[in-house]
């Protein structure tokens, strides 16, 4: 978000295993096939900061524990494998559950992944090709239950709006294996495989941005006329005249860290503290110095503002901290400034003075 200030005057983790079939086994697991699992829809309103970094989690939908196999009876041990049938996008996301393979949806820059667990085991990312969710030396079990989550991830900026998110060509299934040893296990191909799928979700994306007070979006600051002779000019670098005070007010939602950069419109590369005169000015040998007059809103200091690039990127040169953070409440800010003449050359030519600056706010 950017506003213009015009100044004018005059003076004269999961555990993964590769698996295969064992040809010399004479028996396999028997079990009653349980229910398919459908991960329910996620319905959520999401506030994305304007300067959000990616990838980032948007939300997750949880399917509570469901028994996928019952009355399990194996020869030496049992193992439960989950397999995603669809290839991932090739992108991954490092989450609290480990590295997630991301799968495509119908909405650009929104992907998803799936994690599952056999309680009380830890959550395990599901991968294309299969992952062991559960393995045990136990031969029998009354039931094998599974919890599942679909985790939605923004891989890049998402335009604010409402979306129905549908996984593209995604499905998966469970397999029950008879585990003979650490390296030998067998799948009973005659069993129907329980499947898992994901419901379409409804997500509304909002942009967490601040609102500048209507009267401050294009601010005009008049400076007093000043005579060159006896007007207080004391040499190059000296300020002169009564400072003209002005304020910029804005309202920010909760959870926004607010930063600001002031830029010189006439000389965009300017990183000093003297605002250049615009081409419409007829005076020479002077510039404008803008000062921030409250340390509370100016990065802990008062004094002349140094100009920087017209950019909202974090870390922009001469960007300063205004206030707020990810845990702060909604806040109204009124940032006080003053503008004053400053002498830039030993000789001053009388005439009109006009200068334009912008303030770009960054939400971090």
- The model's pLDDT over 234-273, given as tens digits with 9 standing for 90+, comes to 899 999 999 999 999 999 988 889 999 999 999 999 999 9
Q: What is the β-pairing status of strands 124-125 and 110-117?
A: antiparallel
* Location of each CATH 2.60.40.1410 domain in the chain: 31-208
- Contact by Cβ (8 Å): 29, 72: yes
- Contact by Cβ (8 Å): 86, 103: yes
| pLDDT at 11 > cutoff 90 | no
For 115-181, the three-class secondary structure string (H helix, E strand, C coil) is EEECCCCCCEECCECCEEEEEECCCEEEEEEEEEEEEEEECCCCCCEEEEECECCCCEEEEEEEECC
The model's pLDDT over 340-358, given as tens digits with 9 standing for 90+, comes to 999 999 999 999 999 999 9
Mean pLDDT, rounded, for 17-41: 67
**How confident is the model at residue 24, as a pLDDT?**
38
CA–CA dist 116, 100 (Å, integer): 12
| C-alpha neighbours within 13 Å on the C-beta side of residue 171 | 6
Topology of domain 31-208, CATH:
Immunoglobulin-like (2.60.40)
The pTM for the full model equals: 0.61
**How confident is the model at residue 232, as a pLDDT?**
75
CA–CA dist 132, 16 (Å, integer): 6
Asked whether the CA dihedral 93, 95, 98, 100 is positive or negative, the reply is: negative
Bond into 55 cis (ω within 30): yes
pLDDT band at 76 (very low <50, low <70, confident <90, very high): confident
* Burial (0-12, 13-18, 19+ Cβ within 10 Å), 2: middle
- Between 169 and 154, the more confident residue is 154
CA–CA dist 361, 363 (Å, integer): 7
* Location of each CATH 2.60.40.1090 domain in the chain: 211-363
The C-alpha R_g of the chain, in whole angstroms, comes to 32
pLDDT band at 192 (very low <50, low <70, confident <90, very high): low
Mean pLDDT, rounded, for 61-74: 93
pLDDT band at 142 (very low <50, low <70, confident <90, very high): very high
pLDDT band at 2 (very low <50, low <70, confident <90, very high): low
pLDDT band at 132 (very low <50, low <70, confident <90, very high): confident
CA–CA dist 187, 175 (Å, integer): 7
CA–CA dist 24, 181 (Å, integer): 13
pLDDT band at 187 (very low <50, low <70, confident <90, very high): low
The model's pLDDT over 214-232, given as tens digits with 9 standing for 90+, comes to 999 999 999 999 888 766 7
- Between 175 and 95, the more confident residue is 95
Considering 37-51, 136-150, 185-199, the range whose residues carry the highest mean pLDDT is 136-150
The model's pLDDT over 289-304, given as tens digits with 9 standing for 90+, comes to 999 999 999 999 999 9
| DSSP per-residue string spanning 270-294 | --SSSBPPPTT---BSEEEEEEE--
| pLDDT at 104 > cutoff 90 | yes
Architecture of the structural domain at 211-363? Sandwich (2.60)
| pLDDT at 25 > cutoff 60 | no
**How confident is the model at residue 223, as a pLDDT?**
94
- Contact by Cβ (8 Å): 16, 284: no
- Contact by Cβ (8 Å): 121, 79: no
């Amino acid at each position: 978000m950017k506003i213009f200030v015009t100044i004018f005057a005059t003076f004269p983790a999961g555990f993964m295993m590769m698996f295969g079939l064992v040809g010399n086994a004479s028996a396999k697991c028997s079990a009653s096939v349980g229910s398919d699992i459908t991960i329910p829809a996620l319905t959520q309103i999401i506030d994305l900061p304007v300067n959000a970094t990616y990838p980032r989690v948007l939300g997750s939908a949880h399917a509570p524990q469901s028994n996928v196999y019952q009355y399990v009876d194996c020869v030496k041990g049992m193992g439960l494998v989950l397999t995603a049938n669809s290839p991932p996008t090739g992108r991954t996301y490092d989450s609290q559950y480990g590295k997630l393979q991301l799968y495509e949806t119908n909405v650009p820059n929104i992907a998803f992944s799936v994690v599952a667990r056999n309680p009380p085991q830890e959550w395990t990312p599901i991968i294309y090709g299969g992952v062991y969710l559960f393995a045990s030396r136990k031969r029998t079990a009354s039931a094998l239950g599974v919890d599942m989550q679909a985790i939605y991830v923004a891989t890049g900026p998402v335009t604010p709006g409402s979306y129905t998110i549908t996984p593209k060509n995604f499905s998966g299934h469970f397999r029950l294996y008879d585990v003979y040893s650490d390296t030998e296990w067998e799948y009973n191909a005659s069993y129907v495989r329980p499947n898992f799928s994901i419901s379409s979700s409804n997500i509304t994306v909002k942009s967490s941005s601040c609102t500048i007070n209507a009267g401050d979006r294009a601010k005009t600051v008049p400076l007093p006329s000043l005579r060159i002779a006896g007007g207080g000019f004391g040499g190059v670098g000296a300020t002169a005249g009564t400072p003209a005070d002005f304020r910029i007010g804005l309202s920010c939602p909760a959870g926004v860290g607010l930063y600001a950069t002031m830029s010189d419109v006439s000389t965009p590369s300017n990183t000093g503290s003297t605002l250049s005169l615009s081409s419409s000015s007829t005076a020479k040998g002077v510039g404008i110095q803008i000062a921030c007059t409250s340390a509370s809103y100016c990065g802990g200091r008062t004094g002349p503002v140094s100009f920087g690039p017209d950019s909202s990127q974090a870390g922009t040169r001469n960007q300063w901290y205004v206030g707020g953070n990810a845990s702060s409440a909604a806040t109204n800010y009124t940032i006080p400034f003053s503008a004053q003449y400053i002498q830039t050359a030993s000789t001053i030519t009388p005439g009109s003075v006009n200068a334009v600056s912008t303030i770009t706010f960054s939400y971090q």
